[in-house]
Amino acid sequence: METLKTMTYEKTGRIARITLNRPDRGNGITMDLPVELARCVEKADLDPGVHVIALAGNGKGFCGGYDLVESAERMGEGLFGAEWAPEGSPLDARVQAANHDPERVWDPMIDYQMMSRNVRGFMSLFRADKPVVCKVHGFCVAGGTDMALCSDLLVIAEDAKIGYPPARVWGSPTTAIWAFRIGMEKAKRLLFTGDCLSGKEAVEWGLACECAPADKLNERFEILLERIARVPVNQLIMMKLLVNQTFYAMGLPVTQISGIVFDGITRHTREGYAFQRLAADKGFKEAVRWRDEPFGDFGHSTFKG
C-alpha cells in the first residue's frame, strides 16, 4: 500500500486496524481521507486472514469533522481542495473557491460531485464484506459521525460527545444515516437542534452498542473485536448482508442523495455565507461561537435534555 497521509493500517491476528492519524488537527477530514479509508477497507476485505476491521482515532478524540481551517477559513482563498486534483475538476481548489463566491453563480452539482465522492469513501465501511467496529473517545462530531455511523458497531467512552452541530448552520449529514440508526423521532430531536449526546446517552438512545469509562474503553473494544474474530469469515459476511439489505430496502441510497444535495445548499444560504465570512475574518472558533452560543452549549460536550 502507498504511504498514507491521514491514517495508519496494521493487522494484528485476525483484526485489521485503521487508525485516523492527524491528531494535531483533531483527525479532521481532508480530501485525502475518504480515498485512503476506502483503500484500507479494500485491503482488509481482500485479506483472507482478516475477520473484523477496527476503526479508531489517535489523539484527544476520534474525529472533529471536516478540517474547517481548510474549508471554512480558506475556501474563498482558493486553498481548499486536493493537491492531486485534475485542473477544473470539482476537487480543484480554484473551482471550489469560485463555487463558494456569493457574487458568482453557484453550481450545485460541483458540490454534489465533491461530497458524493466523500460519501462513497465513508460508505466503504458500511459496504465492506467484513464487520467494522468503531471506537470513539473524546469527540465524534459533524463529518466524523459519518464514519462512526457507517461502521457496523460503535463502542464509545462514557464521557465522549457525539453529534452533528452543523445541523444548525453550514451542514447536513451527507451519509444521512441517523434515522436508520436511531429512528425518526430521535434523529429529528438531534438534527433539529444540533445537540450532542454523551457516550452514555448514545447507548441509551441506541446509537452505540456499548460504552465504558474512558480508562476501560480499550479493554471493552478489544474484547468485542476478539469475540467477533472467532467467527468464520463467511458467517460474518452473511450476517452483515442480512442486516444491511434491510437498510437498502428502506431507501438509504436514495436518502443519501438528498443529504448530499442539502449539504451543498446549506453552504449557500444567507446564514451559510455569514458563517464562512466570519470564519475567514475571525477564525473558525469564532464562527462556531456565533453558531452555538444562542443554544447555550458552546464548548459543552453533552446533550441538553
User: In this predicted structure, what is the pLDDT of residue 305?
Assistant: 35
Q: Which residues pair with 139 in a beta bridge?
A: 161
The model's pTM? 0.94
Tens digit of pLDDT for each residue in 155-214? 999 999 999 999 999 999 999 999 999 999 999 999 999 999 999 999 999 999 999 999
The amino acid present at 128, given as its one-letter code, is A
Which DSSP string corresponds to the chain?
-PPPSSEEEEEETTEEEEEE--GGGTT-B-SHHHHHHHHHHHHHHH-TT--EEEEEE-SSSSB-SB-TTTTTTTGGGT--S-TTPPTTSTT-HHHHHHHT-TTS---HHHHHHHHHHHHHHHHHHHH-SS-EEEEE-SEEETTHHHHHHHSSEEEEETT-EEE-GGGTTT---TT--HHHHH-HHHHHHHHTTT-EEEHHHHHHTTS-SEEE-GGGHHHHHHHHHHHHHTS-HHHHHHHHHHHHHHHHHTTHHHHHHHHHHHHHHHTTSHHHHHHHHHHHHH-HHHHHHHHHGGGT-TT--S---
Rg of the chain over all Cα atoms, to the nearest angstrom: 19
Give the per-residue pLDDT at 301: 46
Domain boundaries, the chain: 7-295
The span from the CA of 35 to the CA of 117, in Å, is 9
The span from the CA of 126 to the CA of 258, in Å, is 18
Residues 287, 212: Cα–Cα separation, whole Å: 33
Which set of grid coordinates corresponds to residue 203?
Answer: 447507548
Low-confidence ranges of the chain (pLDDT < 50): 301-305
Identify whether the C-beta of residue 15 lies closer than 8 Å to the C-beta of residue 50: yes
pLDDT of 74: 54
Cell numbers that stand for 75 in this block: 475556501
pLDDT at residue 37, rounded to an integer: 99
Pick the CATH number of 7-295 from 3.40.50.300, 3.50.30.10, 3.90.180.10, 3.90.226.10: 3.90.226.10
Would you state the pLDDT for residue 73? Answer: 52
pLDDT of the residue at 294: 94
